Structure 1
């Protein structure tokens, strides 16, 4: 039995129950969840172990967290998840990174309707002359994959990625359709921000967002913070049947088939770095990969999204109302050329819909492939942050995250 730590405000006890149930029924190994409402933190929970590969699920879908029945010294107790534990959050990073160009626009430093090539001349090559800044943010730029994937070393060197996407011919006429830029988003946004500001995207986040708000959040993990970051690992979901009101959220067969086809745009987009990098490697975590390399605590993500839509204690509001509108106004919708299923995107953010259910129609945020989720809901004043170390196969709508979404919805809309 996992001992859930932390606090919940009066009335939010069902959220704690849902979080605990993720360990008991859904194979959670280590996780944290935080929730802000109208700038006030009302949920702050964590439990399990820091390193996902230190435990295995037991027969009933829960986890055994160490010890054993051997003699003293036979087993090493896994390190527990603490309030300060951070994790790699994969594509949740995209939502943090997207705030940078939107804030630059808000400050008058970036025109969302300008051509990318006006800031980054090399990007105009091979039919990309008309790609707009808003196309990068809404996954309409047409470069979700590379003809020649980058090696893990090339992916993090800060030069090869921007050079590769600048030279890449688009997979469709830019601006006419959308497809999830799973990995290339790192180099598209990162280089644009560098050309506009002279700073790397990770440095901009650190100096303009994370430090002023006191966030345990990094796109480019400093060496000084390595010790607080746990190890992620792939885990299989338990076989227990879904209960009433909890639908099985499995990818459609067409998505699975696309992943199996090495020539599909799906496989090529997620395989833009090959072989797949080791996300537990220090060099990977230190790289400023805006698509997938962010490291954060649940509290940092919830506080970040709360600050996008309103003031938080000891921190200012980040987005003006007009910028919130930009973030959550639909730019792309329908069948996604990469994810196959229908998706909805605003400028840099995934919007509420069947592929990624959030709290309500006005919610905006981003899931991370395998489980983590963070978003804002302006209608209820919610900033939501969930971080896990046990990565599942799905890209969106993880059952553990969705259990928390349902619990929050029931409380804040009661």
Structure 2
């Protein structure tokens, strides 16, 4: 299988890996992008948009990156902070008055970005149609009591993050989160990232396939086990249980049909429905890795970037029941040793911000090395079958 694009010779192994995985069928189609000091050193793609091999993966092919979308939504909020339009330490209610209800009066903007605001899901009943009504679903979150005192613990806001931060962007900028990204991030950076596709069945869009197990965003079984009063993590397990009932993670549906539907692709879920290729996502993450600048365009100042790496929480995240360090808008790599977190292959780094999407999409900024990494694919993977760690290791081994 031919590998398209270009890469510097020291990254030959990355291209070989893609060749092997597409040829074997482990990958259907995929793209990888790496920049160092703002310059691309890997920009490759290969494979197919569909399992029938009726359409080749092209330079401009895009696919749903699921929670990789959160890295772009976080950048939008950080840009408003950089402009002085948002104070990360101010109450959310300063910009969104209706949010100051049921114990959230003191909840700060940074809590929204650090998954610590206490609204990891909707109170049941919940279904996907509720979330698709973005104004109504967002109003429900604003009225909801937090599940803990904001800022005191963290649990990944898998489904609600986009609604919460998207509304903040709308209140401050007057634009929907999808429009803000199009006008002020993707457009200036010439980045193929789209939140809310105008043409949901464009020939550019690859079919996304669930992982062999079930393919949907999910909570580990250990996180939803029955609570034991003697269990030191009983509170975390209960949060996970409630989250499952009130988010995409616990919904019974056909993931192949849902994630390729017009409704999903057109929705502006700032945490879930972004469609991109690795180059588009990578050009955006280069902003964090390259002192705020990508493609010759400066979107953030260094002081704002420094805020990203200020730890907001470190410990067991209730959603994953695994250790995570949350900064402002991004998870942070372990500082000293590898950890059994959501991406256990991550190497320690003092200034590495990251997140990933269901099935394996990666979005990483290693500001210490000036390096951004992105990987997207249309065959979702999970557990030991995930290939994101293989690409990650091949990239770091080449340095």
Indicate the larger mover: 108-117 or 18-27. 18-27
Residue 342 (str. 1) matches residue 323 (str. 2): yes
Deviation at 1:153, TM superposition (A): 3.1
Q: Which residue number corresponds to residue 304 of structure 1?
A: 284
Q: Where do residues 188-203 of structure 1 align in structure 2 (5 Å cutoff)?
A: 188-203=164-179
Q: Given the alignment of the two structures, is residue 91 of structure 1 paired with residue 42 of structure 2, yes or no?
A: no
Q: CA RMSD in A?
A: 2.7
* Alpha-carbon distance between aligned partners in 1 of 2:372 and 2:385, rounded to the nearest angstrom: 18
1:226 is aligned to 2:226: no
User: Secondary structure of the residue that 1:391 maps to in structure 2?
Assistant: coil
- Kept in 1: contact 2:208–2:379 (CA 8 A): yes
For 1:273 and 1:212, the matched residues in 2 are separated by 37
With over 3 angstroms needed to count, the CA separation of the structure-2 counterparts of 1:228 and 1:119, relative to structure 1, is: same
Q: 1:316 aligns with which of 297, 313, 316?
A: 297
Report how far residue 192 of structure 1 moved. 1.0
Residue 180 of structure 1, CA deviation: 0.4
Aligned to 1:401: 388
Aligned positions of 1:215-294 closer than 5 A: 215-223=191-199, 226-236=202-212, 254-255=222-223, 257=225, 264-268=241-245, 270-271=247-248, 274=251, 276=253, 278-294=258-274
Render the CA deviation track for 1:105-132: whole Å, top value 9, x for unaligned. Answer: 1100001111111211211222211111
Report matched runs for 1:327-406 at 5 Å: 327-353=308-334, 354=339, 355=341, 356=343, 357-358=345-346, 360-361=348-349, 362-394=351-383, 399-406=386-393
How do 1:173-184 residues align onto structure 2 when only pairs under 5 Å count?
Answer: 173-184=149-160
Q: Which shifted more, 228-237 or 16-25? A: 16-25
Provide the rounded CA distance (Å) in 2 between the counterparts of 1:139 and 1:267.
16
Q: Does the aligned pair in 2 maintain the 1:333–1:345 contact within 8 Å? A: yes
Shift of 1:223: 2.0
The match for 2:96 is: 120
Structure 1 residues 336 and 12 mapped into 2: Cα distance closer, same or farther (>3 Å)? same
1-side partners of 2:241 and 2:200: how far apart? 40
Question: Partners of 1:170 and 1:407 in 2: how far apart?
Answer: 42
Summarize the Cα distance change of 1:325–1:25 in structure 2 as closer, same or farther, 3 Å threshold: farther
Q: 1:337/1:26 Cα in 2 relative to 1: closer, same or farther (>3 Å)?
A: farther
> Equivalent residue for 2:234?
none
- Aligned mates of 1:195, 1:264 — CA distance in 2: 31
Tell me, yes or no, if the aligned pair for 1:331 and 1:346 is still in contact at 8 Å.
Answer: yes
The residue correspondences of 1:125-144 to structure 2 (distance < 5 A) are 125-144=101-120
CA contact (8 A) 1:33 1:298 kept: yes
The alignment of Structure 1 onto Structure 2 pairs a total of residues equal to 373
Partners of 1:124 and 1:324 lie apart in 2 by 28
Residues 224/112 of structure 1: CA separation in 2 closer, same or farther (3 Å cut): same
Cα distance in 2 for residues equivalent to 1:101 and 1:131:
16
Verify the 8 A CA contact 1:94 1:292 in the aligned structure 2: yes
Q: Which runs of 5+ in 1 are unaligned?
A: 56-76, 238-250
Superposition TM-score, scaled by structure 2 size: 0.86
Alpha-carbon separation, structure 1, partners of 2:293 and 2:118? 37
Q: Contact (CA 8 Å) 1:371, 1:398: kept in 2 or not?
A: no
In 2, the alpha carbon distance for the partners of 1:372 and 1:329 equals: 24
Taking the aligned partners of 1:154 and 1:254, their CA distance within structure 2 comes to 27
Cα deviation code 1:363-390 (max 9, x no counterpart): 1121002110011111211111100111
Equivalent residue number for residue 44 of structure 1: 43
- Matched with 1:160 is 136
Displacement of 1:224 in angstroms is 8.0
Higher mean alpha-carbon deviation, 283-292 vs 265-274, is at 265-274
